[in-house]
Amino acid sequence: MDLLINIDVDDLAAATDFYRRAFGLRVGRRLGEGVQELLGASSPIYLLHKAAGTAAAGGAGALTTRNYRRHWTPVHIDLVVADVDLAAARALAAGAQAEGAVEDFAWGRLARFADPFGHGFCLVQFIGRGYDEIADGQAEG
């Protein structure tokens, strides 16, 4: 199974610029007028132009419409980086908003942010054995 990441944005050019500058991604294919592929992560990222106020799910009868103010969702992107401090500085310079200080854990370091389109993301720097430092068993498989 392959993973594709789709991110709704209301300004495709600004989003492309942010994600390129913040994470060093490179522009891939343009898929029509409303989709920009970004490459350089372990999975392709697709920026999808979706106007604010349009139905977010469920078509015309949707209970939720898109907005690009800071919002919470149970799914977000974690980006694994070699140096969380350097990556955080790059994200901030590109226009990200920090949501607290860098935190240290037994498995590594974590910094929380929001992109200019209201989406949360984290920068993760693994230290030592990463999540294996806290794992309590073997994975199935």
Does residue 140 fall inside a structural domain? no
Which pLDDT does position 141 carry in this prediction? Answer: 64
Whether 16 and 35 have beta carbons less than 8 Å apart is answered as no
Does residue 17 fall inside a structural domain? yes
**Regions of the chain with pLDDT less than 70:** 58-62, 139, 141
Q: What is the pLDDT of residues 116-137, one digit of tens each?
A: 999 999 999 999 999 999 998 7
Q: Where are the beta strands (DSSP E) in 40-107?
A: 45-49, 77-80, 97-98, 103-105
Percentage of the chain modeled with pLDDT above 70 = 94
Which pLDDT does position 55 carry in this prediction? Answer: 85
φ, ψ at 128 (rounded to 5°): 60, -125
Which residue in this structure is represented by tokens 């060093």? 24
Does residue 139 fall inside a structural domain? no
Whether 98 and 111 have beta carbons less than 8 Å apart is answered as yes
Average pLDDT, the chain: 93
Q: How many CA atoms lie within 13 A of 23 on its CB side?
A: 26
Give the CATH number for residue 100: 3.10.180.10
Does residue 100 fall inside a structural domain? yes
> What is the number of structural domains in the chain?
1
Give the dihedral of Cα atoms 127, 18, 28, 32; nearest 10 deg: 140
Does residue 138 fall inside a structural domain? no
* Structural domain of 110: 5-133
